[in-house]
Amino acid sequence: MTHMKRKATELHRAAKLYASECKEGKLSRREFMTRVTALGVTAPAAYGLLGLAAPEAKAQTAQMGGSLRMQMDIKAQRDPRTWDWSELANVCRGWLEYLVSYERDGSIQPVLLESWEANEDATVFTMNVRPGVTWNNGDPFTAADVAHNIERWCDASVEGNSMAGRMSALSEDGQLREGAIEIVDDLTLRLNLTSPDIAIIANMADYPAAVVHPSFTGDDPVANPIGTGPYRPVSHDTGIGAVIERNPDHTWWNEGNGAYLDRIEFVDLGTDPAAWMAAAESGEIDMTYQTTGDFVDLFESIGLPASEAITAATLAVRFNQGNPPYDNVNVRRALQMAVNNEVVLELGYNDRGTVAENHHVCPIHPEYAEIPGPVFDPARAREMIEAEGLGDHEFELISIDDDWQAATCDSVAAQIRAAGINIRRTILPGATFWNDWLNYPFSSTEWNMRPLGVQVLNLAYRSGESWNEAGFANAEFDALLDEANGIADADERREIMAQIQQIMLDEGVLIQPYWRSLYRNRRPNILNAEMHPTFEVRYQHYAVS
C-alpha cells in the first residue's frame, strides 16, 4: 500500500533515479538500500526497482530446539534509552523489540512498525503499527505505545539519554513538543517535525531505541521483562553471564519465523581473546561476540569459521577540547600530522579494514564526500608543537586494555614519539576506563557504525550532546549539520557534507585511523548468526542444525 501511494511523489521518483544510478555503478547497492528504505520504500519494492528479488530469509528452514553459548561482556543493566553499549541491548533483544531494524544489505526493515511514509521534505512521517502484536503480559501493542516510547526518548532531563538528541525535531525545551505526535487510530500515528530529518527512522533502529511497555519506570529491563518478543531472562550476573529461554507463556507476532532456540547463554570471559580461545577448544562456548586480529584465523583453525561485516565502525582517538592543551587547534592538528593512518591500520588492526580520514564520515555512507585527506608530516608536527611552547610537554594517550584498541593507540603514540614529541601511554582496565570515558583529555573510544553519516555526527560532535566526548562546539558545523539533516537526496546532502568534513579536518577534532571490518567466529552448525555491521545479536533468529 505504501509503495503504491508513493508512486507519484518526488521521493518515489528519486528512488527510481537512485535505482538507475545503482545499475550504472554510480552508487553501491548498500547505499541505494539505505537511501530509499529510510524514507519508507519497502525492501522488496527497493529490490524490485533494481530488477531483483528480495533475498529469502534462511531462517525459514531452521529447525526448532537446541541451545548455544556465546562469549560476550555482561554489563550492569539500566534504562534502555541510556544504553551506551551494544551488549546491553543484545541481552534484552529476545523480549525488547524495535520499531525498525538495520540489515546487512543496508536496508531499514519494519519490525513493530508495518510500514512508514515520509512527505516530500521529510517533515511529516506517517507510521503504521504492525497489527496483531501483543505484549507478553497480554496487552495489545498500539500506536499509543509507540507515542509513549517516543516521548520517553525526547526527555533530555534523563542523564545519559542519547535518544534525546536524535529526536530533536520532535522536541522543545528537552521534552516532546506539543503537537509533535498525532495518534490517528490504534495502529497509525503521525510525526510532525519542526525541521526535516532524514535520519529519524534510521535512529529508531539504533540499540538505545528498544521499545518498552508503558509500565516500565526506567529501572532494570531484566528484572521487569515485559516486552513483545518471544524470550524471557532466566538470570543476569554482571561480569559473569546471562541465561535466556523461550517464553512458553507468550505467542509471538512473528511465530514460525524465529524463536528456534530453547536457550541462549551469554558467557563473560573478560577481554583476553586467549581465554575465549581456550573456552572454545574445551567446548564451553559456541561463538564469539566479535573477534579481532590474529584470533580471527586462530578460531578458524580450531573449526569455528569467521563471518565478516564491512562497516563504518571505528576507533576515535580524540582530543577533549575542554582540557588544555587540546583547546589549541594547532596542537590538535600537529598531533594529527604526526600520525600516518595507514600504518595504524596495519599495526593496530592487522590491516583488517580501510584507512579513514579523521572526519568520521565513511565511504559507505550515502552522503560521503571525497575531499583531500589528512596530511602526514612529522617534521612539521614537531615544529608546530615547539611553536606553541610545548616542546618539553609530555602528552598522555589513554586507552582501554582491549587488545586491538591498545595496539592501535600504541601505534599512534609511537608515531608521535618518532616525530620528536614527548608522549606516554596509559592503559586502563575496562571497569576503570568507562567510569570516566567522557572526560579524559586524550583517549580512544570505540564507535559503532550508523547507516547515515549525519547520525554519528549528530551524536558525537554536535555542541552539547551527551556523547560529545571531544568537547567540540562549532556553530558553523552545527548549522551545516542542521541543513544536512533536512536534505533527503544524498547527492545534494553530499555538497553540505563536504563542508562539514572539511571543518572536522580544519579543527583537528580527532585522529581516526581506520574503518573496521568486523568478525565473529562460530561453530558450523549455528545458522543465521552472521556478524552484524552494528554488533546486533538477534538470537531470536539463530538456530542450530
Domains, the chain:
2-56+98-209 (3.90.76.10), 310-517 (3.10.105.10)
Residues 130 and 26: their CA atoms lie apart, in Å, by 35
- pLDDT for 298: 96
Q: Is the pLDDT of residue 133 over 90?
A: yes
Q: Is 120 helix (H, G, I), strand (E, B) or coil?
A: coil
- pLDDT for 10: 52
Which residue is listed with cell 544536512?
Answer: 484
Burial string for 485-516 (b: 16+ CB within 10 Å, else e) reads: bbbbbbbebbebbbbbbebbbebbbbbbbbbb
- pLDDT for 11: 53
Between the CA of residue 336 and those of 319, 383, 485, 508, what are the distances in Å? 10, 13, 28, 7
Q: Is the pLDDT of residue 452 over 50?
A: yes
- pLDDT for 144: 98
Residues 105 and 533: their CA atoms lie apart, in Å, by 10
Summarize pLDDT for 495-533 with one digit per residue, the tens. Answer: 999 999 999 999 999 999 999 999 999 999 999 999 999
- pLDDT for 28: 64
Q: What angle do CA 294, 297, 299 make, to 5 degrees?
A: 105
- pLDDT for 48: 66
Q: Is the pLDDT of residue 413 over 90?
A: yes
Summarize pLDDT for 351-367 with one digit per residue, the tens. Answer: 999 999 999 999 999 99
- pLDDT for 85: 94
- pLDDT for 218: 82
Residues 126 and 408: their CA atoms lie apart, in Å, by 44
Contact 96, 210 (CB under 8 A): yes
Q: 15 pLDDT band (50/70/90 cuts)?
A: low
Provide CB contacts within 8 A for 491, sequence distance 6+.
none
Residues 385 and 143: their CA atoms lie apart, in Å, by 57
Q: Is the pLDDT of residue 277 over 70?
A: yes
| CA dihedral for 529, 533, 538, 539, sign (positive or negative) | positive
What is the grid cell recorded at 491? 547527492
- pLDDT for 17: 57
Residues 489 and 35: their CA atoms lie apart, in Å, by 8
Summarize pLDDT for 158-206 with one digit per residue, the tens. Answer: 999 999 999 999 999 999 999 999 999 999 999 999 999 989 999 999 9
pTM of the model: 0.88
Residues 468 and 489: their CA atoms lie apart, in Å, by 27
Contact 79, 219 (CB under 8 A): yes
Q: Which among 209, 195, 87 is positioned nearest to 154, based on CA atoms?
A: 209
